[in-house]
């Protein structure tokens, strides 16, 4: 990853930008040849898409999020970034749902390898991620541990990640299913951003405190029309975060890991399974779910073969298939696998929770299963296992 | 189940080692998903649905491995499967892999003939703790094709026979026709320093050996339960009852090593398929010291 400096002397002091600064930021990123991704309005939801200028950013659009429910709204103060977590996160751009990881052509009894389209790092899109919420930035940090140099080191993920510029935008209005404050991941962005924008409490939709988190971010900041941040601006940014921290729709019990590990055979799993459709929506919208299928394909004449990595979900029966049957046949076992992996086993595997508190799994669950409610329903001490 | 007494001043009280980490946790290069071509040199039909391939790399060095490790075997354009290495770890020139035809890829592999080429990734996973258990009695318990990943450990131990105490091999098969590596079992059983017992679930005409599950062999096998280390591989239900029987005889759980089977796709700990609680079986297993997984092992559908 790019070195993120923490020395204040290396970068300009915090600054305040308005619409013209935001506009200049997008232009600077575009002119640098980057593919600029940001929240966009699409099909009745705010989701991540390509933008060419400030006009492509949703303005004055908020959302109401609740278990199994998402509706766009008009917000009174008509500003930028007035929405909660986007319908989908940034995962698909750093870790695409489908990717060819190996390709070969038959040659004699053996084969000759051919390059895949993503082998060459230069051919990978150079991304700018604009408007990354604190929860989603925390999710990138989690994926870095799984797929980046700290983990299994997927070279394709790594190439995209190393070249991406990240502009975080702190949350002024958490959604109804948000709980990042209780996960310690928000509402203010932690590290790994190049630039961090914090809406100012007195004008959250159009004035932002901007701080650089890397040399690249500092370079960008120096090119923006901005005025230096005074104490009032710093206080207004702090006020935004304080208010947002108080406005979380939900909270995750602090002892989630222990509750889950102690209650692997609790009757609640069967009760939840009666509602769970095992559709896998939660794993699709989760910004950290990384499980993948390895699929081998061949041309009709059998002369060419490819190996693809595809997003997979622990909610499918096939996921745990061994000859003779699947390990996790019941819906209860599959739901348990997902939530215990996310909140408990993840600590063993990667030294952190796999949950960042974005609440997407709650909003986009067709039956409104609430991950925080499920953990809270488990006793803090071991359940008596029914005979 | 009994654990080792913590204060006993016997060899058995030495802390038992964890299986070693054999796969480097360091950066995964593109090569780790890319199969390396190996030529099929020999195909042996072992039993009705099981066969053994002897492979040699088209180019480059042979594939050194530790007993208990596995590879991902690839049939061009068809697919890839996790297969235990069953060869002699002291003779890595030929990569020996024993395959049971149970799925589309393994069934397609039954058509392989000498000269064909297959892809190999690996070896992966933590091995049997062969060096770490030197000085102990060794009891090996195999169910069916579970003998395949144990064969390299047996060969390792017998090649260094003086380094170990008593050695007992206990093998179970469904029927006499399903007894894997018969020639090996006869050879090992012919040694005066090694005890070999075989039992079948269902006898057939001409079978004069033992009938019944493999756990029935444990009570009379010649090993000192206070001293022995056990290596166990077979169907999960067999592992469950074998661990119970070994423990009942006095083998503490930290001296029992089992090889687990889960769905393997990437084999390098990131596809998520082989998760078993907090472990990736491909990377943290397949060999586990049983006391480390005893709690999880008891949970259904984990």
A384 has a pLDDT exceeding 60: no
Q: Where are the alpha helices (DSSP H) in B251-298?
A: 281-284, 290-297
B77 touches chain A (CB under 8 A): yes
Q: Measured between alpha carbons, how far is B177 from B182 in angstroms, rounded to an integer?
A: 10
Residue that is written with structure tokens 């995750």 in the block: A252
Q: Is the domain of B152 the same as that of B283?
A: yes
**pLDDT at site A196:** 97
- Let me know: does A61 contact A45? Beta carbons within 8 Å: no
Is B6 inside a domain boundary? no
Q: Is the domain of B152 the same as that of B278?
A: yes
Average pLDDT of the segment spanning A136-145: 95
The full set of domain ranges for chain A reads 8-246, 256-377
B298 touches chain A (CB under 8 A): no
For residue A328, list chain B residues with Cβ-Cβ distance below 8 A: 301-302
- Let me know: does A311 contact A281? Beta carbons within 8 Å: no
Q: Is the domain of B78 the same as that of B178?
A: no
Question: Residue A316 has what DSSP assignment?
Answer: S
Domain count, chain B: 2
A92 touches chain B (CB under 8 A): no
Specify the CATH number for the domain of residue B91. 2.40.30.10
Q: What is the mean pLDDT of chain A?
A: 91
Distance from CA of A154 to the nearest CA of B (A): 6
Q: Measured between alpha carbons, how far is B170 from B195 in angstroms, rounded to an integer?
A: 8
A383 has a pLDDT exceeding 60: no
Q: Report ipTM for this prediction.
A: 0.89
Q: Is the domain of B143 the same as that of B194?
A: yes
Q: Is the domain of B52 the same as that of B143?
A: no
Q: Is the domain of B103 the same as that of B136?
A: no
Q: Is the domain of B79 the same as that of B138?
A: no
Consecutive sets of 10 residues in chain B, 302 residues long: mean pLDDT of each? 44 63 44 91 96 96 97 96 97 97 95 97 97 97 97 98 98 96 96 97 94 96 96 96 97 98 92 95 96 95 93
* Nearest one of A263, A210, A257 to A237, comparing CA atoms: A210
A315 touches chain B (CB under 8 A): no
Is B24 inside a domain boundary? no
For chain A, positions 246-305, list CB contacts with chain B under 8 A: 264-265, 290-294, 296-299, 302, 304-305
A11 has a pLDDT exceeding 60: no
Q: Which of B90, B124, B158 is the last residue of a domain?
A: B124
Specify the CATH number for the domain of residue B190. 3.40.50.80
Q: Is the domain of B153 the same as that of B97?
A: no
Residue that is written with structure tokens 């960042």 in the block: A356
For chain A, positions 142-161, list CB contacts with chain B under 8 A: 146-147, 149, 151-155
* Nearest one of B301, B302, B298, B289 to B132, comparing CA atoms: B289
**pLDDT at site A23:** 96
Q: Is the domain of B138 the same as that of B200?
A: yes
Q: Which of A158, A291, A353 to mutate to test the interface with B (most CBs of B within 10 A)?
A: A291
**pLDDT at site A174:** 93
Owning domain of residue B77: 30-124
Q: Is the domain of B226 the same as that of B104?
A: no
For residue B26, list chain A residues with Cβ-Cβ distance below 8 A: 153
């Amino acid at each position: 990853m790019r070195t993120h400096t923490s020395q204040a002397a290396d970068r300009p002091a915090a600054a305040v930008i308005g619409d013209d600064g935001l506009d200049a930021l997008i232009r600077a990123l575009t002119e640098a040849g980057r593919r600029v991704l940001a929240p966009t309005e699409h099909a009745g939801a705010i989701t991540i898409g390509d933008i060419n200028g400030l006009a492509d950013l949703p303005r004055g659009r908020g959302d109401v999020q609740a278990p199994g429910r998402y509706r766009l709204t008009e917000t009174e103060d008509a500003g930028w970034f007035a929405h909660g977590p986007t319908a989908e996160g940034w995962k698909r751009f750093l870790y695409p749902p489908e990717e060819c990881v190996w390709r070969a052509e038959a040659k004699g009894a053996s084969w000759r390898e051919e390059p895949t389209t993503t082998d060459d790092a230069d051919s990978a899109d150079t991304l700018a991620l604009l408007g990354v919420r604190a929860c989603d930035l925390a999710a990138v940090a989690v994926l870095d541990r799984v797929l980046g140099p700290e983990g299994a080191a997927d070279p394709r993920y790594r190439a995209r990640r190393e070249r991406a510029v990240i502009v975080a935008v702190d949350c002024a209005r958490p959604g109804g299913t948000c709980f990042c404050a209780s996960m310690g991941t928000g509402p203010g962005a932690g590290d790994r951003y190049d630039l961090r924008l914090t809406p100012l409490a007195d004008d959250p939709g159009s004035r932002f405190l901007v701080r650089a988190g890397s040399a690249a971010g500092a370079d960008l900041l120096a090119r923006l029309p901005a005025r230096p941040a005074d104490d009032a601006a710093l206080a207004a940014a702090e006020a935004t975060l304080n208010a947002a921290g108080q406005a979380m729709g939900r909270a995750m019990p602090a002892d989630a890991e222990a509750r889950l590990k102690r209650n692997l055979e609790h009757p609640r799993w069967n009760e939840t399974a009666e509602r769970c459709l095992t559709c896998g929506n939660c794993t699709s919208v989760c910004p950290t779910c990384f499980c993948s299928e390895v699929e081998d394909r061949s041309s009709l004449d059998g002369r060419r073969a490819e190996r693809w990595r595809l997003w997979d979900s622990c909610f499918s029966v096939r996921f745990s298939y061994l000859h003779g049957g699947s390990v996790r046949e019941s819906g209860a076992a599959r739901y348990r696998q997902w939530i215990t992996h996310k909140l408990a086993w993840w600590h063993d595997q990667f030294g952190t929770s796999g949950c960042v508190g974005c609440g997407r799994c709650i909003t986009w669950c067709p039956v409104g299963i609430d991950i925080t409610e499920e953990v809270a329903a488990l006793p803090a001490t071991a359940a008596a296992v029914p005979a | 189940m009994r654990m080792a007494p913590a204060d006993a001043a016997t060899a058995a009280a030495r802390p038992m080692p964890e299986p070693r980490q054999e796969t480097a946790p360091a950066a995964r290069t593109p090569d780790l998903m890319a199969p390396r071509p190996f030529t099929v040199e020999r195909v042996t039909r072992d039993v009705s649905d099981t066969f053994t391939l002897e492979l040699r790399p088209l180019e480059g060095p042979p594939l050194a491995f530790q007993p208990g490790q596995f590879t991902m075997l690839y049939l061009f354009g068809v697919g890839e499967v996790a297969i235990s290495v069953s060869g002699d770890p002291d003779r890595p020139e030929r990569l020996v892999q024993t395959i049971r035809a149970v799925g589309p890829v393994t069934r397609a592999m039954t058509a392989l003939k000498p000269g064909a080429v297959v892809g190999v990734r690996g070896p992966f996973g933590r091995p049997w703790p062969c060096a770490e258990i030197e000085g102990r009695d060794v009891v090996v318990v195999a169910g069916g094709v579970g003998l395949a990943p144990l064969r390299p450990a047996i060969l390792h131990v017998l090649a260094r026979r003086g380094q170990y105490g008593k050695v007992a091999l206990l093998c179970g098969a469904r029927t006499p026709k399903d007894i894997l590596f018969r020639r090996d079992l006869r050879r090992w059983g012919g040694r005066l320093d090694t005890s070999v017992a075989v039992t079948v679930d269902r006898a057939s005409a001409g079978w004069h050996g033992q009938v019944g599950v493999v756990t029935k062999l444990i009570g009379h096998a010649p090993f000192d339960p206070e001293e022995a280390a056990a290596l166990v591989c077979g169907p999960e239900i067999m592992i469950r009852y074998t661990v119970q029987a070994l423990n009942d005889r006095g083998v503490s759980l930290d001296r029992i090593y089992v090889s687990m089977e889960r769905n393997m796709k990437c084999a390098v700990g990131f596809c998520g398929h082989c998760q078993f609680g907090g472990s990736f079986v491909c990377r943290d297993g397949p060999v586990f010291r049983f006391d480390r997984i005893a709690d999880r092992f008891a949970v259904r559908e984990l």
